[in-house]
Amino acid sequence: MNKLWNVSRKTDLETAFDDVFVHEENEAQTVDGSGFPYAQDMSSDGGVFKHLLDDDERVNDEMNKALGCGKTALGLEGVQTLKRYYKFIYCYRWFCRECGSKGGRIHKKRMSGILRKIEGALESQEKEIVDKFDLRQFVFTLPVQWRERFLSRKAINSFYRMVERIIKEEFPSKPSIIYFHPFGDRQRGFYHPHMNVHILEEKGQRLQIEPVQLERIKAKFYRALVSYGCRKEELGLNDVRSGINYMNVHYSFQTRPGMKYHRLKYMSRPNPGYLNYDAVKKDPVLKALFLGSVKDKGMSGFMYVRYFNGFRGGLKDIDRKEEIREAENSAGERLRVARDRDGHIMYKKKSEINLLYREKELEELSEGFFRVVEIKRKKGRLKRGKDSRQVSGIYQTS
């Protein structure tokens, strides 16, 4: 048993963030009377039992997280000041209406992450950071005939690496971003995997590329796909040249600040996003890939936005560590989980918090993150004084 608990090396705080949704589910189950007997005891590690769920239960479990998104706050406590905080926890699932829509939480998070990365790469913190570079853009699209080979996380990672290698060769040491989009804009359930590339170019460089360079890039893409196992015959073609001509690589560039910003924003939107959910759920293959299955976690936790060439790493849509860091930054101190007198973690609904505090007593530090401020009121002081007299009175008589 103890081993199970150690499976995740998450901190108390991270676990408490995730367990908000387990708490939500348990609450719902208590209401309709269908609660699992172990739910109460195991609530601090919902992940351990994941493997016992079948595919539909898994999808439901994920959906419950989206349905519980932003409904429950976790009580936190300042390590130094012992001040009380409440943080509403969001699910950051792509199929959540609030998190996975265009302009929703995931999109905002990706966009601010990208701008921060660019500031880092250009060593500039100027407000109009998009003025500081020009933007090259490539879109690498898989031929329809080969798409079925790219229906796994592993294959999509390979696709990613092919494109990364080509860009590294062609544009060495230019900070670049790759965004994976599995769907186009129009057909929400039609698998159309493409890698979008943004390359940050110094201002004043020639941005047009020679046809010969685009040809070379297409040839590299073709050869990478063939050595991955894609067969020319599947394209219905016979000679090599025609295979290269069949490659769909689109190049464009942008110098106007507003348009550059727009392009970064367009590429970083969640895809799949909330709009794709109905179509994805109807297709068994796409459902298993994007929502996970018993056999395979599929794309859950996949980094859709990644950096290279001077940038490092990628951007996780669900990053509890990062959320905790941000909360600590806006609180200005280290935080820990707050517990009630019985040692239970404090999970509170908005309605409960509203009963506990007046509006003035809650200071919103960032979206859904509140600090309880003590308001000095004459009445309050009097009341407190009265209480303590009562308490001491009890002690005196006993």
List residues binding Zn ion (CB under 5 A): 69, 90-91, 96, 98-99
In whole angstroms, the minimum distance from the beta carbon of 106 to Zn ion comes to 8
In whole angstroms, the minimum distance from the beta carbon of 305 to Zn ion comes to 18
In whole angstroms, the minimum distance from the beta carbon of 99 to Zn ion comes to 3
In whole angstroms, the minimum distance from the beta carbon of 182 to Zn ion comes to 20
In whole angstroms, the minimum distance from the beta carbon of 87 to Zn ion comes to 14
Closer residue to Zn ion, CB minimum distance, 59 or 91: 91
Closer residue to Zn ion, CB minimum distance, 68 or 243: 68
Closer residue to Zn ion, CB minimum distance, 130 or 299: 299
In whole angstroms, the minimum distance from the beta carbon of 382 to Zn ion comes to 44
Closer residue to Zn ion, CB minimum distance, 89 or 219: 89
Give the whole-angstrom CA distance, residue 344 versus residue 107: 34
Give the whole-angstrom CA distance, residue 220 versus residue 197: 16
Q: Tokens 């550059």 appear where? A: 260
Closer residue to Zn ion, CB minimum distance, 169 or 367: 367
Strands 191-201 and 176-183 turn out to be antiparallel
Closer residue to Zn ion, CB minimum distance, 98 or 361: 98
Closer residue to Zn ion, CB minimum distance, 106 or 118: 106
In whole angstroms, the minimum distance from the beta carbon of 365 to Zn ion comes to 20
